[in-house]
Structure 1
Amino acid sequence: MSVAQGLLRFETGGQGLTDITGEVAGWLTQSGMRTGVLTVFCRHTSAGLLITENASVAVQRDLLRWLDRLAPESTGYEHDDEGPDDMPAYIKTLLTGSALTIPFSSNRLLLGTWQGVLLAEHRARGHSREVVLTAIGE
């Protein structure tokens, strides 16, 4: 059993979803690991990770609208230290999650045909985001 760990950085352009599947798969290839489990962890409280359909941009737009309905920007939150998108971003991160577990085999992510790994930026302005990758296997 071996462990490989790495860090990927992404610059976001503000609220939206960024497909990071290629970068995650590239890191796995470079790690030399063949079979095991990969954990993908976002180091931020206002950005999250999700696995979803990555072929249709309409799916991403629908997900963002759904999240905005569940946690709208408003002045109704007690916590607004960094503006009206601050607390809604935390709520959206709770909904999207901070970590994913993905099995891999033959040095490939075992995602479904239409699945992709997406970084969800929940803040209105862009940020530099870090994603930690930990592969356990052989």
Structure 2
Amino acid sequence: MDHKEKVLTRIFSITLSLVFGISSIAKFSGMELLHLPFKEMCLSTWYGYFIAVLEMSMAVGILKKNVASMSAVGMNVIFAGMSFYFYNYQTPFYLIPTGILALMAITVAYYTHDDCITVQGMPEKQ
């Protein structure tokens, strides 16, 4: 990975970490606006808190080199759920920022997949 790719990956990682971190803190604080989608889809209140825990773990994980790829893939699972909600319950206009964030997460996953911890152990130093 050359210098430009490292800078791009770092900028995307920090942006995604901020978005997910702020979102999970807002869900933990009980902000009604962020718990409303779960009520509209007839999901339990605890599900919003469960998603907040996942978001916070991914926000921290994407900043760590060895688990950034896995966190970025997990973020895309959350983005898929958000896209489902926006398409079926809100205006599809909200799919645009969700898609941009998903592309950022895909980029981070692609550029950091060689540094990821695997079953064989830690990646080799180059």
* TM-score (norm: length of structure 1): 0.25
Q: Which has the higher helix share?
A: 2
Question: How high is the TM-score relative to the length of structure 2?
Answer: 0.26
